Each structure stands twice: as structure tokens, then as C-alpha cells.
Amino acid sequence: MNHRTLLMLALLTTGCGRYDIDPSQYTEEEGLWDPQSALPTDGGLFVRLTRAGDVALLTPGQDTVRVHLDDAEIDSIEAGAGSAVLTRSTEFVCDAGATPSKYVDDCPSDRLTQVGRADLIDASGSVARFDVGAWYGAFTFSADGHFAVAPIDANRPTAGGGLVNLTSVLVIDEETKTSYEVSVGFAADRVIFRNDAEGKAIGMLVLSRSEVANVDLTSQVAVPRATYPLTLDAGQTVTPIDVALTPDNHYALITIEGSGDLYVLDLESPSINIVALAGHPSALLVDPVSDRTYISYKASSRIDVLDHVRFDVETLDVDSATDHLIQGPGFVFAYSRSGALDGYRIDTTTFAVDRYRFTQPPTKVELAPDGTAAIALTATAGVGRLEVADLRQVDGKVDTDVKPFGLDGVGVGLTFAADADGSRALILQDGVDTLYSLSWPSLQVKAVDLPSPPAAIGTMPDGTFYITHQDALGLVTFLDDADNLVEVNGFGQLGMLDRPLLTQEEN
């Protein structure tokens, strides 16, 4: 049996039981797919087929869909909108005069040109293409899925791009399937979107060292509305750390590396005000209901509350420093990943502070979808635990006794989904092929046996959990709210197909 016959048999069995191909021939570095690349969408789970340079769309109970870009190789998958994902690709062009050929490997190296592109791929396999220079970095996506924006990455090559404006950002409009550049006048490294009351993206802040640009997205403008210098000293560098917008989009709040100054940018009447804080902030969170900003400090046992009218600061005393803040309904939860055991529930109406005490330092804390509980993964000396803090308020009081649960191994992943009685969490453990399902508020625990140890875990938009596995030829497990397991396997075999075709420039 020749290789092509073996390949065709493999493809016919994709998603239909186990496989007969020896996976040992594929090293981890040259795997057929990437278990860490999974992206959930309304239309299914997209994964990257690394060897083929394609993507596969996985849906429980349905045939796997392979999306193949004939003349390009997909380098990465990034989040998209609804049922779509945005891929970054390299297109190969064989210059005129080279020996005619269909495949990249047959084009002389001195004739082969690589061109960057991005493709918006939906659940039907439909592709919308955008020319994207290889010099652009990772995309940032607006919450409504309307826009994707990429700044220039100074570490990427600009060869083959002609004259490149290194102070521009690329904007992709995913609704109109168009793209354009905005020249902000400096080398950008971060984008923060501004949304209207309905959650639609209307603008963005583009940040870099020492400068911020305010850009309108309601029309395809090529220049910012305003640019804010964060210092007037050309020899001084000011590096933004955390950025937050007030609920009315009137102000942008920016903390600065190594400084206790909070920069307040007026986005309506361009100006800058500076508020002196108690020290170097570790986290910044704007509560949209109370219209206040909460600020924590890694080296100080206090949490500051900033109003958005006079920008006065009120201090809440806590017993230990915190470096993470999480938004909840009617409260803010503060905790530390730096070894402290305390967590704090701060009522955003009364400013009452309730203290929780974990038995081990948290490595990760997540809130239940309805905000009624915080679940922490903790670990000490290789011993893992799951600890639950009840955040419900009954008659003005909360139960601050943390409920600990032991784990078989060290918890490395945690994801939530809402269910009929509240919510439940699924806990991934390092190297352990048993997952635990913890229901809240019943605290019912179920063990879920998997076909092999998981690599990553997440939640589909419909609440179904997905688990990827380190399996050479492809294995993803879907778990529904009735604890039914559905395996989708063998899809990595699709990655054994031919490498990308190249485009003949003369054609």
C-alpha cells in the first residue's frame, strides 16, 4: 500500500472512531495540530492544523470541516466575532521567470516571496481576505466583534513591503469586510476600544510609550481626533501600565510604570490631569454602576476608591496587599497572587469590606457567571486545592468561611458555565485524566473520566465545555450539561495533506 492510499484511508476515517496510523512519526515540534490554539465560536470549535497550515472546524456529532487556503499557510488563529475567526497567514509567490510549479517546496528559494494576509473565516468555511503586512503584530478585537486592530511590531521584518509607515495601525472592519490604516504618529503597542451605551465600538485609544492617540471608528478616518503627550521632556520615557475608561467615555485613566501618578485624559476637551496616588498601583478597575474606580497596591494594605467628578480618593483599609481586582454584580473582589491568603469583597454601594481567608495562596481566581461565588485554585508544595468563597449577600451579611476541596493533582485550568440551578465549574489538573465538575450553590462534586490527560479547557457559547488533549492525530472532548462526553478525534490527519500551493506572479 503506497503513501497516498494510506492517506486517503486515513481521511475517510476522520472523526469516525480511532485510527490506525502510527502517531509516533510526528514529533511534538512537528505536530499535526495545536491543542492550545482552540477558539470557541457560535458555529463550532476552530483548531489550527500546524503542519498543513490550515484550520479545522469541530462540531460534536458532525463531520469535521477543513478550511484550506490554497495559496497560503495559516500561522495563527485569533478570536473573531460570532461564528468567525481571524487567521494570520503567509502567502507564497513564485516570481516570474522561475520554473513553473504548484508547490512551495519546488520554487527556488531566491524566487520565493512571502506576503502577509489575514482571513476572516466563518462556520460555513467562507473566507474574506485582507492584505496584512507581515510587520503588523497581534490583533486586538472590539467586544462587539466589529473591529480588529493591529499595531506595527518592531520585531517583525518589513522586507517586501515597500515604503512602510511605522507609525500606523491597521483597522479591519469585520462587518463591511474592509481594512484601512490610521497614522497615529508614533510606534503603537496597545489598543483600548471605546464603546457607546449599547456596547458598540465607536472609537479606540492607541497607546505607546509617552503618547496616547484618540481615534474615531464611526468613519474611516486616517488620523486621530487628538494625541496626548504623557511627558514634555524628550529625554523622559513614560510607560502606561493599566488603562481604563470611565462609564461615560469622557475620561481615560492610566497608571504609569514606576510612578504613583494617575493620568486622567479628558477625551471630550483634550487635556491631561494628574492625580497623586499613595504608591505604585497594582490593579485598576472601573465599576460602571457606582461610577467609581478601584485601585489596589502590591506593596500597601489599602484599596483606594476614586470618584469621576472631582477625582477625590477615599481609602479602604484592608489587612493585606492585593494585586488583582475582579468585577462582580454590586461588588469588587480583590485578592493577591503574590503569596497573601486574603480575599476581599467590597460592596460598591456601602463600601463594606468582607474578608475571606484562603488556606493556601491563590494561583487563579474566577467568579461564577452570576457573581455569587469566587473559586480559587491554590497549590503548595505540589498539593492542589479548590477553594470556594460564597459572595452572596443575605440580609446585609455574607458567609466568609471558605470551603476547601482537595484535588488529585495541581489545578491548572478552570472554566464556568451557567446551568438551571446556578452554575458549575470544570477543573483541569496537570497530567490527570480525571476532571472534577463542581456545581454551585449545591457544592455537588462529580468526577468526569477523560480518554487522556487534558491540555486545555474552555466553554462554548452554548455552555458546553470543550477539552483538548495532547494527541498526535487529534482529540477534543465535548461535555454537555448532562455530563455526556462526545469525542471528536482523528482530525489531525487532515493536516497530512499537501503543503500550500503558491501563486505564480506571471499568472
Residue bearing the bigger pLDDT, 74 or 312: 312
| Cα–Cα distance for residue pair 456/196, rounded to 1 Å | 34
pLDDT of residue 99: 58
Instruction: State the pLDDT at residue 417.
Output: 85
Q: Identify the CA nearest to 426 among candidates 414, 434, 418.
A: 414
Task: Tell me what pLDDT residue 102 has.
Answer: 63
Q: pLDDT tens digit string along 82-111? A: 678 898 888 877 776 655 556 677 777 777
State percent of the chain over pLDDT 90.
51
Q: Is the pLDDT of residue 55 over 50?
A: yes
Lowest mean pLDDT among 12-16, 58-62, 161-165, 386-390: 12-16
Lowest-pLDDT range of 165-169, 333-337, 343-347 = 165-169
Mean pLDDT of the chain: 85
Ranking 188-192, 378-382, 461-465 by mean pLDDT, the lowest is 378-382
Give yes or no for a contact between 320 and 343, defined as CB atoms under 8 angstroms apart. no
Which DSSP letter does residue 500 get?
P
Amino acid 321: pLDDT: 96
**What is the mean pLDDT of the segment spanning 486-493?**
91
C-alpha separations of 269 from 222, 227, 228, 230, 503 in Å = 21, 12, 12, 16, 51
Q: Classify residue 24 as exposed, middle or buried by CB count within 10 Å of its CB (0-12, 13-18, 19+).
A: exposed
What cell does 79 get?
Answer: 478570536
Report the pLDDT averaged over residues 322-328. 96
488-503 average pLDDT score: 75
Could you write out the three-class secondary structure of 356-424? EECCCCEEEEEECCCCCEEEEEEEECCEEEEEEEECCCECCECCCCCEEEECCCCEEEEEEEEECCEEE
**Reported confidence tier of residue 501, pLDDT bands at 50, 70, 90:** low
Q: What is the pLDDT of residue 150?
A: 92
C-alpha pair distances (Å), 303 with each of 159, 259, 339, 354: 49, 17, 18, 13
Model confidence at 17, pLDDT cuts 50, 70, 90, reads very low
pTM: 0.84
What size, in residues, is the chain?
507
Q: Does the pLDDT value for residue 19 go beyond 50?
A: no
Q: Are strands 503-504 and 85-94 parallel, antiparallel or unpaired?
A: parallel
pLDDT tops 70 at residue 203? yes
Given pLDDT bands bounded at 50, 70 and 90, which one contains residue 502? low
pLDDT over 60 at 499, yes or no? no
The CA distance from 371 to 157, in Å, is 45
Show me where the domains of the chain are located: 1-84+93-128+490-507
| pLDDT per residue as tens digits for the range 433-455 | 888 899 999 999 999 899 988 89
Q: Please tell me the predicted confidence (pLDDT) of residue 481.
A: 80
pLDDT at 164 > cutoff 90: no
Task: Look at residue 94 in the predicted model and tell me its pLDDT.
Answer: 78
pLDDT above 50 for 13: no
